[in-house]
Amino acid sequence: MAMPPKPTSPRPRTRLSPAQRIAQLLACAVRVFARTGLASGVHAQVASAAGVAVSTVFVYFPTRVALVQAVVTEVDRYLVDLVAGIAGTEKSATDKLLTILYEFSVTVDTAPDYIKIWLNWSTDVADATWAHYVDFQDRIIAAFGDIIVAGKAAGEIPKDVNPLLGAHLVMSAGHMIAQMKFRGRDQREVDEFLRELIRGAVLPKG
């Protein structure tokens, strides 16, 4: 008679390093805050999403302020990296601006939680994170302005284009791009909007 298989003991959980645990909790926090909004997410929801004790979340993010700040800092990093990665290429100035906006539109599909948090963050002017958002926005606008200045110097963009105003116009496109995508607009329609917007930002002023 065949012997029954020996019972196997459950495989022990892999112990994460502090850096791995922070990355895990932060990824869960991004998912939670995208759903609840910056004003409503709490440690318990992050713990539930990560499958850990609430006390574990408090070890790495001792207060709700620290948790929210970590989330918006992650969104800051993600979007700044997107812009910087394209700004550092050999593309023409207008192609850089167009590519940045295109990749942002793609991010609405590939990383929607980041965009939802960004939308929330960008309009919550009374929140403690507003000063951080203003700093983030200023850095992005400065990057767009530098691209336009370089384009003018290379003769790609007319001399009478105001880099600061053009940069603000490009920055302002983010909200409309996100809304078009979340409303289900066709990507071809979004792409046409991007082309028209970049033309408007760098056309000769007369």
3-state SS of 98-132 is HHHHHHHHHHHHHCHHHHHHHHHHHHCCCCCCHHH
> Which tokens is 156 given?
């790609």
Segments of the chain assigned to CATH 1.10.357.10: 69-202
Statement: the pTM of the whole predicted model exceeds 0.85: yes
Give the right CATH number for 69-202 from 1.10.357.10, 3.30.450.20, 3.40.50.11540, 1.10.10.10. Answer: 1.10.357.10
The two most distant CA atoms of the chain are separated, in Å, by 95
Where do the CATH 1.10.10 domains begin and end in the chain? 16-62
- Coil, helix or strand for 6? coil
10 pLDDT band, cuts 50/70/90, is very low
The CATH class given to the 16-62 domain equals: mainly alpha
pLDDT digits (tens, 9 = 90+) for 156-195: 999 999 999 999 999 999 999 999 999 999 999 999 999 9
Kindly report, residue by residue over 115-146, the tens digit of the pLDDT. Answer: 999 999 999 998 899 999 999 999 999 999 99
In sequence order, the 6+-apart residues with CB closer than 8 A to the CB of 20 are none
From CA 71, how far away is CA 114, in angstroms rounded? 9
How many C-beta atoms surround the C-beta of residue 76 within 10 A?
19
